[in-house]
Amino acid sequence: MAFKIIEGGGREPSDYHGLAVISSFRTLVVEVLRALARGEDAGNGIFGNLAKFLHHLGTTSQHPNLLINEAIKGLHACICTEPPEQASNPLEGIVQASLHVAADSCCTESGAQGRANQKRRALEARIAAMLQNRAR
């Protein structure tokens, strides 16, 4: 969810900081994903976006959990455009399964590595199925 502020365009929306929390959190997550893929936060995007997120979070009257969930739902909709059981694009399932593997691979809690291995096998099965379907 992006919104544009037009200079001299009048008052800001009544929930400006709530919208800014959603927008800055989404951008923060994207920067974290990019940094994880690259192996570093080359442009320091994480820190800058974290600062924006915290600033707006501190000035909104809305509950943080609601705003963060709204941002997560929006990001999820970008990745998963169809329900899993109706997905016509197997790549969406592979992307989602890859995120599960990445999350559990980075986790240090007990049992995380077992979950990561299970999810890695499920990811490999999705990839194999997609390749089989393409070969037909």
**What is the pTM assigned to this prediction?**
0.78
pLDDT by residue for the chain (136 residues), tens only, comes to 555 555 555 555 578 999 999 999 999 999 999 999 999 998 889 999 999 999 999 999 999 999 999 999 999 998 888 776 666 788 888 888 899 999 999 999 888 889 999 999 999 999 999 899 888 7
Task: Quickly count: other Cβ atoms within 10 Å of residue 33's Cβ.
Answer: 13
Pick from 29, 25, 1: which is nearest to 13 by CA?
1
With left for phi above 0 and alpha for psi between -120 and 50, is residue 75 left, alpha or beta?
alpha
Supply the pLDDT for residue 7: 54
